[in-house]
């Protein structure tokens, strides 16, 4: 540290004058002659210190005791001089918390012998208000250059600091105003004249600064009346207008209008943004949305949008509403598990797999509004719409396809069983012929009163029953196509049903139109079908009842009825009022040897409906079943229509 001399009183006074000149205007308090007087007269020296507007203190180091505090300290700090005399380093107790660390560093330097020439800090006065203090310092050193005291000159700079802040804010606003990327106008609210415009405004509208200050804000608007009204609004508002450039080009803008007062003058700030590109983008998005909305709504496929987190149906197209039997509003109020028989947990797991693209192809059972359950095939994938992550469901009803596949499997099974049955029937019929011949010869060699004669008659009857069974098996078998004849179906059905219902407690009701197409069928085989269906109806109604038989012309399209080709058909239905068939048995009734009756009551070993199915199949037709327990059963036959009218057939 450099060597310093001990400061005399005269040097101290000179230092005070030097600090005062730094913090006041020149020649406002002291002149050269007065200084000389102060140096010569102690009373004048005291008067100067006590009349200074800035506070002066003499602080002993390191004790921190105040040797002198001028009266102005009450005005500058807001505390009386007694508070300073009473407590060493009193000023540390009133420093604002934000500046305590900063001032503490200066104090630590001071105790180490280093004096900061000048710094600003903030205090809290006795009324709890903040004050800004500007402090200039001079140190007093002994003969060993050791700091023994500090002279401080302090001024309350709140007013000057506020003015500086205002100026700084104005400069900052001007920089922001000029550098803003959007055009900004300042407008006199009363006259509507533009009083300022930034560079972005000049560049966009094509005016010079001098030219634009001659215009009103309404001059650059194609809607001056609306613009004038917006200027008079008290609150900040955002408007969409059309403005015009100097070259006459009109373009859309979004204007934010806000009012404020500056130096008793009411101004309006208008921040303009050219939204031509945005409007084109929005129009493109709207067009795109309309296009895809049309694809969604008009798609013949069933389409759903589902929230994968909650399972809620967000949207559904018209095909979905038609398929499920709900209006769009009702369908959108449902969860996906309301129309799917799987549990919500299972569906959420499947949807999570679809969202991660681990799997996108699923098979479900969906429930319609009428309670009917349909087999569906669903393609599921993620899609983002308006920032929301959703899943699309593209649903195909595959119930009919599954039925056709089942029919194909059944036909192949029946074909395989038929081949086996035909071979067995042929071999068994040869055995029965030999057995029946031997029984007949044995019976001829016996007298009628011989006890064995009666046994031979019984054996012959059993052989005849066995031959009947082989004939049924042969009919079911693959070989032996139908020997077709042309018939008028209405007369054929009436005559056949009357023959089989003779003496029965079951009556028959017919519903036939006058213009039924003719059929080309094997009369004997179709009679067997009708007989089996009538027998089933009688067994289902032991107490009697009615069988309703309908026939009508139908044109079947491809895929409409399983296994049928496109063409003209006669549809014949046999509807009884019996006990019905449980759902778990309905898929098996056409299987060979399937029956729900006790074994001792079975007639024909459960081949009846299997034979019926085989006969109709050989006629290139289709036999279907629908049944409800407690209501009744309906068998429906489709047979190809013939192209010309035949003669009547005798039964």
What is the chain's mean pLDDT, rounded?
A: 81
Asked if the structure places residue 112 within a domain, the reply is yes
Are 390 and 307 in contact, with CB atoms under 8 Å apart?
A: yes
Least confident range of 281-290, 307-316, 360-369, 579-588: 281-290
Q: Say what the pLDDT of residue 213 is.
A: 92
Are residue 137 and residue 230 in the same domain, yes or no? no
Are residue 563 and residue 620 in the same domain, yes or no? yes
215: left (phi over 0), alpha (psi -120 to 50) or beta: beta
Residue 246's domain is classified under what CATH number?
A: 3.30.450.20
Region 49-78: mean pLDDT is: 88
Asked if the structure places residue 287 within a domain, the reply is no
pLDDT for residue 587 is more than 80: no
Asked if the structure places residue 279 within a domain, the reply is no
The predicted-structure confidence for 481-504, as pLDDT tens digits, reads as follows: 677 889 999 999 999 888 888 778
Q: Say what the pLDDT of residue 556 is.
A: 92
pLDDT for residue 134 is more than 50: yes
Q: How many domains are there within the chain?
A: 5
Region 357-377: mean pLDDT is: 90
Q: Say what the pLDDT of residue 403 is.
A: 76
Which domain-ending residue is among 476, 504, 522? 476
Q: Say what the pLDDT of residue 499 is.
A: 84
Q: Say what the pLDDT of residue 605 is.
A: 52
Q: Say what the pLDDT of residue 90 is.
A: 92
Task: Provide the whole-model pTM.
Answer: 0.40
Q: Say what the pLDDT of residue 560 is.
A: 83
463: nearest Cα among 441, 442, 435, 438: 435
Asked if the structure places residue 123 within a domain, the reply is yes
Domain of 18? 9-162
Asked if the structure places residue 192 within a domain, the reply is yes
Q: What share of the chain is helix, strand, coil (3-state, %, to 5)?
A: 45, 25, 30
Asked if the structure places residue 116 within a domain, the reply is yes
Which domain-ending residue is among 476, 502, 525? 476
Are 366 and 373 in contact, with CB atoms under 8 Å apart?
A: yes
The predicted-structure confidence for 553-567, as pLDDT tens digits, reads as follows: 999 988 788 778 899
Are residue 207 and residue 157 in the same domain, yes or no? no
Are residue 592 and residue 462 in the same domain, yes or no? no
More confident residue, 424 or 211: 211
The Cα 475–Cα 310 span in angstroms is: 58
- Report percent pLDDT > 70 for the chain: 83
- Report percent pLDDT > 90 for the chain: 25
DSSP, collapsed to helix, strand or coil, labels residue 4 as: coil
Are residue 517 and residue 539 in the same domain, yes or no? yes
More confident residue, 319 or 263: 319
Bridge partner residues of 641 (DSSP)? 519
Asked if the structure places residue 651 within a domain, the reply is no
Are residue 58 and residue 155 in the same domain, yes or no? yes
Are residue 471 and residue 501 in the same domain, yes or no? no
Least confident range of 158-172, 201-215, 451-465: 158-172
Are residue 119 and residue 74 in the same domain, yes or no? yes
Q: Say what the pLDDT of residue 650 is.
A: 45
Q: Say what the pLDDT of residue 417 is.
A: 66
The Cα 386–Cα 239 span in angstroms is: 25
What's the CA angle centered on 130, arms 125 and 136, to 5 degrees? 80
Region 112-121: mean pLDDT is: 82
Asked if the structure places residue 60 within a domain, the reply is yes
pLDDT for residue 151 is more than 90: no
Candidate ranges 40-44, 291-295, 441-445, 526-530; pick with highest mean pLDDT:
526-530
pLDDT for residue 421 is more than 80: no
Candidate ranges 166-175, 187-196, 258-267, 603-612; pick with highest mean pLDDT:
187-196
Region 443-462: mean pLDDT is: 83
pLDDT for residue 146 is more than 50: yes
The predicted-structure confidence for 18-54, as pLDDT tens digits, reads as follows: 554 544 443 434 344 544 544 455 566 677 777 888 8
Q: Say what the pLDDT of residue 14 is.
A: 58
Q: Say what the pLDDT of residue 464 is.
A: 79
Region 522-535: mean pLDDT is: 89
Q: Say what the pLDDT of residue 415 is.
A: 65
pLDDT class of 570 with cuts at 50, 70, 90: very high
Are 59 and 153 in contact, with CB atoms under 8 Å apart?
A: no
Least confident range of 193-197, 261-265, 407-411, 618-622: 407-411
Are residue 227 and residue 303 in the same domain, yes or no? no
Are residue 440 and residue 521 in the same domain, yes or no? no
Which domain-ending residue is among 476, 501, 522? 476
Q: Say what the pLDDT of residue 27 is.
A: 40
Region 115-125: mean pLDDT is: 86
Q: Say what the pLDDT of residue 393 is.
A: 92
Which string of DSSP letters, residue by residue, matches 435-451? HHHHHHHHHHTS-TTSH
pLDDT for residue 629 is more than 50: yes
pLDDT class of 8 with cuts at 50, 70, 90: very low
Are residue 636 and residue 569 in the same domain, yes or no? yes
pLDDT for residue 341 is more than 70: yes
Distances (CA, A) of 287 to 291, 303, 309, 505, 632: 6, 21, 30, 71, 55
Tell me the three-class secondary structure of 356-390, residue by residue: CCCCCEEEEEEECCCCCEEEEEEEEEEEEECCEEE
pLDDT class of 598 with cuts at 50, 70, 90: low
Q: What are phi and psi of 574, to 5 degrees?
A: -120, 110
Are residue 264 and residue 131 in the same domain, yes or no? no
pLDDT class of 252 with cuts at 50, 70, 90: very high
Region 348-377: mean pLDDT is: 89
Are 120 and 155 in contact, with CB atoms under 8 Å apart?
A: no
Are 244 and 250 in contact, with CB atoms under 8 Å apart?
A: yes
pLDDT class of 436 with cuts at 50, 70, 90: confident
The Cα 256–Cα 271 span in angstroms is: 5
The Cα 166–Cα 159 span in angstroms is: 11
The predicted-structure confidence for 270-306, as pLDDT tens digits, reads as follows: 999 898 888 888 887 777 777 777 778 888 889 999 9
């Amino acid at each position: 540290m450099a060597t310093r001399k001990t400061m005399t009183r005269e040097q101290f006074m000179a230092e005070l004058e030097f600090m005062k000149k730094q913090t006041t205007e020149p020649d406002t308090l002291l002149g050269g002659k007065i200084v000389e007087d102060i140096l010569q007269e102690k009373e004048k020296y005291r008067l100067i210190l006590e009349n200074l507007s800035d506070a002066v203190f003499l602080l002993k180091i390191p004790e921190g005791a105040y040797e002198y505090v001028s009266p102005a300290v009450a005005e500058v700090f807001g505390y009386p001089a007694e508070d300073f005399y009473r407590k060493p380093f009193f000023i540390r107790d009133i420093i604002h918390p934000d500046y305590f660390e900063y001032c503490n560093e200066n104090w630590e330097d001071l105790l180490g012998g280093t004096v900061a020439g000048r710094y600003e800090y903030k205090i809290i006065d006795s009324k709890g208000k903040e004050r800004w203090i500007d402090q200039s310092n001079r140190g007093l050193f002994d003969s060993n250059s050791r700091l023994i005291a500090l002279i401080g000159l302090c001024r309350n700079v709140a007013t000057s600091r506020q003015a500086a802040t205002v100026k700084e804010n104005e400069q900052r606003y001007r920089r922001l105003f000029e550098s803003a990327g959007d055009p900004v106008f300042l407008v006199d609210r009363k006259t509507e004249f533009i009083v300022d415009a930034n560079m972005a405004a000049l560049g966009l509208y094509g005016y010079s600064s001098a030219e634009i200050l001659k215009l009103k804000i309404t001059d650059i608007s194609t809607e001056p009346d609306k613009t004038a009204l917006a200027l008079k609004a008290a609150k900040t508002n955002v408007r969409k207008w059309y403005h015009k450039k100097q070259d006459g080009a009109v373009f859309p803008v979004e204007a934010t209008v806000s009012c404020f007062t500056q130096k008793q003058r009411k101004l309006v700030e208008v921040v303009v943004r050219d939204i031509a590109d945005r409007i084109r983008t929005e129009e493109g998005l709207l067009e795109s949305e309309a296009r895809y909305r049309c694809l969604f709504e008009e798609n013949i496929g069933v389409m759903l949008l589902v929230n994968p987190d909650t399972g809620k149906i967000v949207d559904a197209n018209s095909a979905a509403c038609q398929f499920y039997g709900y209006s769009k509003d009702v369908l959108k109020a449902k969860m996906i598990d309301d129309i799917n028989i799987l549990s919500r947990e299972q569906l959420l797991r499947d949807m999570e797999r679809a969202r991660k693209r681990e799997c996108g192809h699923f098979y479900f059972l969906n429930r319609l509004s009428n309670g009917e359950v349909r087999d569906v095939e669903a393609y599921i994938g993620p899609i983002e719409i308006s920032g929301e992550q959703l899943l699309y469901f593209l649903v195909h009803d595959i119930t009919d396809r599954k039925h056709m596949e089942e029919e194909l499997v059944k036909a192949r099974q029946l074909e395989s069983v038929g081949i086996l049955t035909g071979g067995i029937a042929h071999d068994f019929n040869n055995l029965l012929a030999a057995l029946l011949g031997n029984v007949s010869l044995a019976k001829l060699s016996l007298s009628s009163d011989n006890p064995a004669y009666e046994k031979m008659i019984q054996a012959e009857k059993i052989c005849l029953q066995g031959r009947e069974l082989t004939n049924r098996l042969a009919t079911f078998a693959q070989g032996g196509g139908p020997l077709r004849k042309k018939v008028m179906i209405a007369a054929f059905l009436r005559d056949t049903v009357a023959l089989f219902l003779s003496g029965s407690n079951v009556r028959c009701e017919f519903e036939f139109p006058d213009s039924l197409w003719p059929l080309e069928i094997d009369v004997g085989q179709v009679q067997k079908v009708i007989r089996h269906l009538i027998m089933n109806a009688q067994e289902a109604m032991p107490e009697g009842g009615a069988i309703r038989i309908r026939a009508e012309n139908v044109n079947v399209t491809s895929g409409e009825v399983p296994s049928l080709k496109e063409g003209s058909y006669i549809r014949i239905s046999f509807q009884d009022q019996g006990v019905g068939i449980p759902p778990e048995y309905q898929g098996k009734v056409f299987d060979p040897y399937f029956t729900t009756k006790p074994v001792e009551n079975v007639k024909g070993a459960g081949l009846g409906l299997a034979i019926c199915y085989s006969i109709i199949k050989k006629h290139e037709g289709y036999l279907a079943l629908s049944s409800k327990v407690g209501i009744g059963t309906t068998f429906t036959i489709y047979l190809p229509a013939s192209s010309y009218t035949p003669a009547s057939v005798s039964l």
